[in-house]
Amino acid sequence: MMDVDDFKNGQLILIDKPLNWTSFQVVNKLRWVIRKKFNIKKIKVGHAGTLDPLATGLLIICTGKFTKKLNLLQAETKEYTGTITLGATTPSFDLETKINKTFPTEHLTDKTIKDATNLFIGEIDQKPPLYSAIKKDGVRLYELARKGETTEIKSRKTTIFEFEITKIELLDVSFRVICSKGTYIRSLANDFGITLKSGAHLSALRRTKSGDYNIDDAITLEVFIEKLNNSIDN
């Protein structure tokens, strides 16, 4: 049985983030249900690493005093699985925006696709997408991008430890990536398309691991809320 002190002293919650939810919305939902359940005005709740709305998977949530651990948790190595679609690009590098350019793909083979992953292993320079949560002058880049405003983004160092192609089905390439903190898989997909001279965008993404934590141990928002409501008397 959990009480309000458990959440104030600190809980670490592994949530399987649903599609079309922002990480911020998940945090807000959890904060609201905890406050409502215990009839309290304030409770600290935060997450250890943003997932895009179109991504699903492992979102580490901390409450109370455990929010002090968020920076350390966020710095951990991450694992993702997903799908890169070749032959076309989008401004957001994923399906948030519509295709803006198409490219020939007749020159592609399974071998050239798999071999291209080797060029991304190790420390690389990566530019974050224009549609990202990075702030410039206090405004998030995706807010500027949605208004049609562009801005110069500096490249960042990131490390790709593993980049494996797990399946190739026509132009849809399934992959698994293990990478350092701050890696944008959308940018990796876009750069992958540039390398192959075919264009590419990210069409599916799921975070499967973060540090020692695994998606297999995560629960949905609905299950967490149900467990919370059933753990104590109203």
Q: How far apart are the first and last CA of the chain?
A: 12
Does the annotation count 52 as an active-site position? yes
Residue tagged active-site, from 52, 110, 172, 216: 52
Task: Please report which residue ranges of 47-140 form alpha helices under DSSP H.
Answer: 70-74, 110-116
**Tally of residues, the chain:** 234
**Cα–Cα nearest to 220, from 13, 22, 5, 2:** 13
Compute the distance between CA of residue 3 and CA of residue 232 in angstroms, rounded to an integer: 7
What's the Cα-to-Cα distance from 58 to each of 65, 81, 195, rounded to whole Å?
21, 11, 29
| Token digits of residue 101 | 């350019």
Is residue 131 within 8 A of residue 148, CB to CB? The reply is no
Compute the distance between CA of residue 213 and CA of residue 209 in angstroms, rounded to an integer: 6
What's the Cα-to-Cα distance from 5 to each of 63, 64, 66, rounded to whole Å?
11, 9, 12
Is residue 32 within 8 A of residue 45, CB to CB? The reply is no
Catalytic residue ranges: 52
